[in-house]
Homo-oligomer: A and B are copies of this chain.
Amino acid sequence: MIDYRIDRGSGVPAYVQIVEQTERALRMGFLKVGDKLPTAKEVVAATAINPNTVLRAYRDLEQAGLVELRRGLGTFVTRSLARPGAEDDSPLRREVTDWVARARAAGLERADVLAMVTAVLDVYDDEHASRTPGDRQRKKEDA
C-alpha cells in the first residue's frame, strides 16, 4: 500500500502532493493496474489531512484516467505509467542507485541531488529541443 508523505509548509497544496506521489508510484511500477489506493480514512489517519482533500486528489487522478473511484469499494488503479527500463532490477536503476549513494556519501543532500538531476535534464532537453531557439528550454544561464 502506498504511503503518502505530505510536506505541509512546502507551499505545494496537499492534494497536489498526493497526485504527484501517486503518479510517481505508477511510473515506477510500485502501483499496478487493479491495486487499491488507501481509503480516504486511512490517508487521514496517516497524514492528518482532511478526507475531502484526499478525495479531491483522487478525483483529479480519476479525471486523468489513472484510477477509478468505486463507491463503497475504494479507489483502484486503472492505468499503468510503468516504463520498461525503470524496473527495480534494471541496469539504469542499478546505476543510478550506485550514483546516488556516491553523491550522498560525497556530502550532497537530497535537495542537491534532485537539483543536479533537474539541471542535467534541463541541459539535455535544451540540446535535444526542436530547433526553435529560445523556445524549448527550462532554466539556464544566458549572458
A137 B3 Cβ-Cβ under 8 A: yes
Contact with B along A101-143 (1 / 0, CB 8 A): 1111011111111111111110111001000000001111111
B11 A16 Cβ-Cβ under 8 A: yes
Given A2-B139, A114-B117, A115-B28, are A99 and B96 also a contact pair (CB < 8 Å)? Answer: yes
Q: Is A5's beta carbon under 8 Å from chain B?
A: yes
Given A16-B12, A85-B106, A104-B124, are A4 and B139 also a contact pair (CB < 8 Å)? Answer: yes
Nearest-neighbor residue (CB-CB) of A26 within chain B: B115
Q: Is A13's beta carbon under 8 Å from chain B?
A: yes
Q: Name, among A116, A120, A137, the residue most crowded by chain B CB atoms within 10 Å (CB to CB).
A: A116
B95 A99 Cβ-Cβ under 8 A: yes
In the assembly, how many copies of this chain are there?
A: 4
B110 A114 Cβ-Cβ under 8 A: no
Give complex CA distance A21, B40 in Å. 31
A92 B110 Cβ-Cβ under 8 A: no
Give complex CA distance A106, B93 in Å. 12
Give complex CA distance A119, B86 in Å. 11
B100 A112 Cβ-Cβ under 8 A: no
Give complex CA distance A99, B98 in Å. 11
Binding site for B on A (CB under 8 A): 1-5, 10-13, 15-16, 19, 21, 23-25, 27-28, 30, 50, 63, 72, 83-86, 92-93, 95-97, 99-104, 106-121, 123-125, 128, 137-143
